[in-house]
Structure formats: structure tokens, C-alpha cells
């Protein structure tokens, strides 16, 4: 699709593949291509689940700091939304999404991982938000998504210190969902999302929307959203198939309709 970001499709799984050696730094071009790939994955009915993968060498080591050294405040005001928009495009994919993390997920790379539903992490990987060491803070969702995922106190400690965490600590605090040897990261990510390829796509989309949107609402509003989405699924073919299969005591064959 792009020079540094490709969307590869196999067996109902779309892989958003970052490939900008040596560290998959998220410069402006990568951000634009990432947004395009995420939008394409969201809209392609042949894709039922998504893996974000930086390859066996590294996931993503954040923004290109060389850009930060000379950029002015007015220029950054104009450009700040680009990285946020790219990360948000991944977060808005209405399908199950997993980050397959090798070696480093730092800064913008960690924020990209946080935008996914799960994180499969290599045993020797490091994750973190080191922006404070540059006199900055995370600017593409790190302060918001990290706090929601691991709690505000832990998020503050990591962001205030800028320290990296290893895979074991990431798993302990809820930043990593599975920790595996580096050579099994992508394979494990495939195993994680494969069951959703034949699942009820519209129900999965509704469940993700209810959870993600509900986190930013009060309880009453979240319950109203859930009720609305629940009722809407009664207009789907998969609801008919699922309930009929249950009554007939057989495995449902969902079509995603």
C-alpha cells in the first residue's frame, strides 16, 4: 500500500505491517500510511481481524526525534494532530485488533500498541513512554489510554519517570496480555484473533463500540448505548443464525451479515 506501511490479507486476517528500518520510527509519512492502512482494514469486509506488526526486529520506537529537534511551536500545532489521527485510526478499526510486539514499543510505538485491543509481547521486549526525558509528554493518546488500561497511579509513575518496563512487568500490570518467545509473537497474535474470523462480525463490532465508547461516558449513558446496540443486532442475519443454532443444538455458521 505504502512505502513503509503495508496491509497484507490472509485467511480473513489483515496485517498492518510497519517496515521502516531500523526502528520503524513514526515520521509523518509513516503516520499517513498507517492511517490509510487502518482505514482500509476497517472498511474491507474480507478482513475480520487485524494484527499490527513491526516485523521480527522491532515493533516501533516512537516518533522520529530528529523532527522534534528543529520544529517550531507553530509548526507542531499544525502537525500534532497527524500522529494522533493515525493512532486513532487504528483504535477505531471496528474489528478485533492485536499488536504483535518485538524488541521495543516506545513513545508513539507504545501509543500505537495501546490503541489495539490486546498486546502480544516478546519475552525480551521493552515498552514505555519516555517523552518526559525530552521535556515532553506523550502526545498521541499515551496519557489517556495508558491510564485507562493500567490505572492512573501506575500510568503516572511510568510517564513521569519515562522508564521502560520489561515484558514480565508489562504482563503483571496489565500492559501485556500474552508474553511469548520473540519468534512466536506473530504466530501467537494469529492464534489470538483467528477465532474471530468466523465470528459474528456485527456483534463483535457492537461489543467493541460499547466497551470503548462506554469508557468515556457515565454509567447511565453507557448502559443506554449498550441497550441501543443490543437491540440493533436483532436486525442481523447472524443473530437469527446464532439463536436458531442454539435451539437446534448445533454450531452456528456466521456470515458477518
Give the three cell numbers for residue 219: 454509567
Cβ within 8 Å of residue 98, ≥6 positions away: 49, 50, 51, 52, 116, 117, 118, 119, 120, 189, 192, 193
Residue ranges in 92-180 assigned as alpha helix (H) = 108-114, 142-150, 152-161, 167-173
Strand partners, 100: 53, 120
3-class DSSP assignment, residue 7: strand
Q: Are 211 and 230 in contact (CB under 8 A)?
A: no
pLDDT digits (tens, 9 = 90+) for 149-207: 999 999 999 999 999 999 999 999 999 999 999 999 999 999 999 999 999 999 999 99
Q: Which of 37, 100, 113, 131 is catalytic?
A: 131
CATH number of 5-197: 3.90.226.10
3-class DSSP assignment, residue 3: coil
CA–CA gap between residue 147 and residue 154 (Å, rounded): 7
Q: Are 46 and 12 in contact (CB under 8 A)?
A: yes
Q: What does the domain layout of the chain look like in residue ranges? A: 5-197, 201-247
What distances in angstroms separate CA 3 from CA 20, 36, 37, 63, 211, one per listed residue?
Answer: 8, 12, 12, 17, 34
CATH number of 201-247: 1.10.12.10
Q: What are phi and psi of 31, to 5 degrees?
A: -60, -45
CA–CA gap between residue 66 and residue 27 (Å, rounded): 9
Q: Is-catalytic flag, 63?
A: yes
Task: Quote the distance between the C-alpha of residue 15 and its chain's center.
Answer: 12
pLDDT reported for residue 217: 94
Q: Which of 14, 62, 107, 108 is catalytic?
A: 108
Q: Is the pLDDT of residue 4 over 90?
A: yes
Radius of gyration from C-alpha coordinates of the chain: 19
Give the Cα-Cα-Cα angle 112, 115, 117 (nearest 5 degrees).
125
Q: Is-catalytic flag, 8?
A: no
Q: Is-catalytic flag, 142?
A: no
pLDDT digits (tens, 9 = 90+) for 56-99: 999 998 777 777 777 778 878 777 777 889 999 999 999 999 99
Q: Which of 111, 170, 203, 206 is catalytic?
A: 111
3-class DSSP assignment, residue 26: coil
Q: Is-catalytic flag, 36?
A: no
Residue 240: pLDDT band by 50, 70, 90 thresholds? very high
Q: Which of 63, 105, 167, 203 is catalytic?
A: 63
3-class DSSP assignment, residue 50: strand
Mean pLDDT of the chain: 94
Rounded average pLDDT over 108-137: 96
Rounded average pLDDT over 242-247: 93
How long is the chain? 257
Amino acid at each position: 500500500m505504502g512505502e513503509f506501511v503495508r496491509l497484507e490479507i490472509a485467511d480473513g486476517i489483515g496485517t498492518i505491517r510497519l517496515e521502516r528500518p531500523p526502528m520503524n520510527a513514526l515520521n509523518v509519512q509513516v503516520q499517513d500510511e498507517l492511517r490509510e492502512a487502518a482505514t482500509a482494514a476497517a472498511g474491507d469486509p474480507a478482513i475480520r481481524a487485524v494484527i499490527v506488526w513491526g516485523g521480527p526486529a522491532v515493533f516501533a520506537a516512537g516518533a522520529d526525534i530528529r523532527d522534534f529537534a528543529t520544529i517550531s511551536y507553530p509548526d507542531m500545532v499544525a502537525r500534532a494532530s497527524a500522529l494522533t489521527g493515525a493512532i486513532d485510526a487504528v483504535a477505531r478499526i471496528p474489528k478485533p485488533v492485536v499488536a504483535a510486539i518485538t524488541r521495543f514499543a516506545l513513545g508513539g510505538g507504545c501509543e500505537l500498541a495501546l490503541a489495539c485491543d490486546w498486546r502480544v509481547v516478546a519475552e525480551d521486549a521493552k515498552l514505555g513512554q519516555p517523552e518526559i526525558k525530552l521535556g515532553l509528554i506523550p502526545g498521541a493518546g499515551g496519557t489517556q489510554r495508558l491510564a485507562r488500561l493500567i490505572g492512573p497511579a501506575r500510568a503516572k509513575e511510568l510517564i513521569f519517570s519515562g522508564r521502560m518496563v520489561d515484558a514480565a512487568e508489562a504482563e503483571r500490570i496489565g500492559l501485556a496480555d500474552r508474553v511469548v518467545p520473540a519468534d512466536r509473537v506473530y504466530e501467537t497474535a494469529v492464534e489470538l484473533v483467528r477465532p474471530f474470523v468466523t465470528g459474528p462480525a456485527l456483534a463483535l463490532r457492537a461489543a467493541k463500540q460499547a466497551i470503548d465508547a462506554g469508557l468515556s461516558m457515565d454509567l447511565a449513558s453507557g448502559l443506554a448505548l449498550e441497550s441501543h446496540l443490543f437491540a440493533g443486532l436483532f436486525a442481523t442475519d447472524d443473530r437469527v443464525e446464532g439463536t436458531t443454532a442454539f435451539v437446534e443444538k448445533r454450531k452456528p455458521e456466521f456470515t458477518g451479515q
